Structure 1
């Protein structure tokens, strides 16, 4: 199996060393746009976008010293990793933001095999949009039956084509109150036209990560037979054949096992469905043949050890989403005082959870004891979709028939939809629960779950 790190222009970090390795957040000029355009100034880990791949084996220790060289305090959130609360990297909740020139030591064990990622978590609606994110891959101890693996970090950027620079209006009210900051330039691993070589009947593992601020990515396979084997780092009990469009919301990940079915001389694609056409997100040029026949359905990945929710005893909660453009929200509390929507907007807030627009400073959604079971009914009463992410724990989506569904850390709730999730509060600490349309999170769509 070839290393997915080879896809990146930057080197991968090796596994745990005796001295923590430095993970430097810095300003860099990169050729993000096609040749012929000028370079773009980004904020990147180790000066690259995406940042360097961090890859360890399940159960291994991850040690990184964040060195902040960007002109804004920052922190690192290890998205999807079930770790100690002090290592979660949420500025203002689990740690103080790291000032320019300062450092912070992250040290944790990666308990689950899967596809995860890391990204800035102070003013993330700006810092992630500038490039501060990267993949975190936790390998299974046992080998799986593939020929090759590719880590594909999908992202979008809001770029001024005349200057080649990232649009600096990160406080745009239109982004906060509508669908979020949607870019006009889409990349994979920092490239707009990523093309890889392939062989017919070769079997790949594709690890897809949606690192965009707000863009929902509908994807299809062309020239591949594929199976979904994991979502948000958690394996499916049975691989699911890819027979329809895959929807990847911001912050979500999906692991695919695919067999190349395109003929030699043809091109296979991971395709992106735009509003009016289909575009190639990643192209695979089939240059030769690896075998005369396909292998058939892959075996399921080994599941991670997660607690099972007892829905009958789970404590119920409701999270009502309100606000944004076209919602009709007239008032909400801010700072404990009921205010008009105009006053809320003037304060830079556009959304409310359960009638409160305070965001992280508002009342917690739930206070639970360690080991307690909980279920949350999310009611999206807004005009936009929201990708809700729970820190510190994975949850099951609850099926309409009341059974436990997919295990995830980020769920997409469409406008007007209701979605119930359930989890065991087995990780003590203060955990964010927020929309990963990052402009939404910054303007009211953030709450906390406290586990004592």
Structure 2
């Protein structure tokens, strides 16, 4: 991938980051900053089709980091965001739960072109997060890439390697250009990448224990990813630890925006297979290039450290609401026309358990995302829940799924709904915790 980035912008972003952080620490205004992150929305290109020019795209890049962005749980991070794209934008955080989460539609306007904004975020939980400006897709001229953010645990996790694998979907025209989501994909063909590569290769030693952080970076398609001939043990979903369990048939099924942390003990070279609901295709490979000698054999992995979410939810005393996803007469709006002056989907008092009956009236699968709080997926009889937390859920056509969460973070929070159709618009509403 080649990136068109102008040196003065990079210097300006980094200089602003250093100056503002110094002012906070020396001046003593508010809690101390323990981490710094400089983000830039910028044009780039991606080599997606052999023999054709690189495809123009937009991306959110961490110009303060040479490799993955890794913060720590309980960091207070100062974020400097530079918008070098021709439309107003702001990063939206997925998996960043808590009262200090940054959300540009709840009263803060997105950054205008050629401007820099500074904000602070608190990393309340360890896990796999996603920073993304594609909520503003109505104004995007090119398809865009999100940015994975890793919040590491405070205690050691027994793995040899920790790798991020972002799966992305592109709709390519015959000339090699790409159609952004929300537009008619006529005369395009789908193409999938891992970490921006059409043929991704992960090199490892035999007997290494890998922590693979899978992210469905596509915006419309539910995808299944499988590593052939290996057991894939799910350790976390949507940034929250789960009771470890083997993936069914070794495949992880991820809704757009969903994340799954899995442990894999590398045994042999194998293919990564991707299934988009129509066909399976190889999208990369694990290549074994040696052997790791161990004095102690590998044991069953222990659960990841807790993020201190409640062990139990009071379903009997819960507030209950019906939410029809995307229904035209129920207050849903495109992000460009969203206003918190609109009626909320629901309101809850701080500390209450909330149960939502999510109804999908559309003829296609619809993806729901809850900002501000992770939730439990309830059993069909509403008498218990699955042993994991989520913030994103795909609901089949005509179906209703029930979820529950503890309303612990006061404020106004977004909910999102989008049909798994490339041309379908992304819709938003808000809910209040008071």
Q: Is TM (by shorter chain) over 0.5?
A: yes
2:282 alignment partner in structure 1: 280
- Normalising by structure 2, we get a TM-score of 0.82
Deviation at 1:35, TM superposition (A): 4.4
**Cα distance change on mapping 1:138 and 1:399 into 2, 3 Å:** same
1:377 alignment partner in structure 2: 357
**C-alpha distance in 2, partners of 1:97/1:79?**
17
1:24 alignment partner in structure 2: 40
Q: Is the 8 A contact 1:123 1:442 kept in 2?
A: no
2:272 alignment partner in structure 1: 270
**C-alpha distance in 2, partners of 1:81/1:47?**
17
**C-alpha distance in 2, partners of 1:370/1:381?**
30
Q: Is the 8 A contact 1:378 1:418 kept in 2?
A: yes
Q: Is the 8 A contact 1:125 1:442 kept in 2?
A: no
**Cα distance change on mapping 1:189 and 1:247 into 2, 3 Å:** same
| Equivalent residue in structure 2 for 1:205, among 193, 211, 214 | 211
1:414 alignment partner in structure 2: 396
Aligned: 1:248 with 2:248: no
Q: Is the 8 A contact 1:228 1:254 kept in 2?
A: yes
- Normalising by structure 1, we get a TM-score of 0.79
Matches within 5 A, 1:7-406: 18=21, 20-28=36-44, 30-46=45-61, 53-84=68-99, 87-91=101-105, 93-120=106-133, 122-124=135-137, 127=140, 130-162=143-175, 164-167=176-179, 170-172=182-184, 184-237=190-243, 239-244=244-249, 245-262=251-268, 267-275=269-277, 277-291=279-293, 295-307=298-310, 308-321=312-325, 351-352=326-327, 355-358=330-333, 360-361=338-339, 362-401=342-381, 402-405=383-386, 406=388
SS where residue 363 of structure 2 aligns?
Answer: coil
Deviation at 1:158, TM superposition (A): 1.6
**C-alpha distance in 2, partners of 1:52/1:200?**
24
Unaligned runs of 5+ in 1: 1-9, 176-181, 322-350
**Cα distance change on mapping 1:226 and 1:275 into 2, 3 Å:** closer
Aligned: 1:446 with 2:421: no
Deviation at 1:424, TM superposition (A): 1.4
2:8 alignment partner in structure 1: none
**C-alpha distance in 2, partners of 1:372/1:165?**
49
1:327 alignment partner in structure 2: none
Pairwise CA RMSD: 3.1
SS where residue 432 of structure 1 aligns?
Answer: strand
Q: Is the 8 A contact 1:228 1:241 kept in 2?
A: yes
Q: Deviations over 1:288-324 (max 9, x none)?
A: 2224896242111111112342111110100123xxx
SS where residue 316 of structure 2 aligns?
Answer: helix
Matched pairs, number: 394
Q: Is the 8 A contact 1:201 1:291 kept in 2?
A: yes
SS where residue 92 of structure 2 aligns?
Answer: strand
**C-alpha distance in 2, partners of 1:57/1:409?**
20
Deviation at 1:385, TM superposition (A): 0.9
1:333 alignment partner in structure 2: none
**C-alpha distance in 2, partners of 1:233/1:23?**
21
**Cα distance change on mapping 1:46 and 1:438 into 2, 3 Å:** farther
Deviation at 1:145, TM superposition (A): 1.3
Deviation at 1:67, TM superposition (A): 0.8
Unaligned runs of 5+ in 2: 6-13, 23-35
**C-alpha distance in 2, partners of 1:449/1:169?**
26
Q: Deviations over 1:378-420 (max 9, x none)?
A: 1212211112111111111111232132311111111122110
Q: Is the 8 A contact 1:147 1:203 kept in 2?
A: yes
**Cα distance change on mapping 1:51 and 1:198 into 2, 3 Å:** closer
**C-alpha distance in 2, partners of 1:403/1:358?**
33
SS where residue 231 of structure 2 aligns?
Answer: strand
**C-alpha distance in 1, partners of 2:83/2:420?**
21
Deviation at 1:21, TM superposition (A): 4.3
